[in-house]
Amino acid sequence: MPAYRFSGRAFSEGIEQVDMDGITLQVYNLEKTLADCFKFRNRIGMDVVLEALELYRTRKNFLPGNLMEYARICRVANVMAP
């Protein structure tokens, strides 16, 4: 599994704590994860990115404003804009 480097807000923003089987994990929220997918679209494939975006858009808690905020933080807002 390759490792990637993040700095500043691209690393620290969007972290949530999730309890799994009594263990607290820190994970990135959906919007940050999707912005990261766009950032690494050439490595994971645009088809994967677009499928993830479609799945996100079908969720009840779809928050386009939050998604674009994380896109700005990850510097992919222009790529994600229609």
For 49-69, the pLDDT digits (tens) are: 999 999 999 999 899 999 999
For residues 53-72, one letter each, b for 16 or more C-beta atoms within 10 angstroms of the residue's C-beta and e for the rest, the string is: eeebeeeeeeeeebbbbbbe
Cα gap 33→16, rounded to integer Å? 12
- What is the helix, strand, coil percentage profile of the chain, to 5? 55, 15, 30
Q: What integer best gives the mean pLDDT of the chain?
A: 92
Q: Span 3-30, mean pLDDT? A: 91
- pTM higher than the cut 0.75: yes
Q: Is the pLDDT at 38 greater than 90, yes or no?
A: yes
- In this predicted structure, the answer to whether residue 82 has a pLDDT above a threshold of 80 is no
Residue pair 62/56 in contact by the 8 Å Cβ criterion? yes
Which band of pLDDT confidence, cut at 50, 70 and 90, is reported for residue 13? very high
Residue 36: both structure tokens together: 């990261």
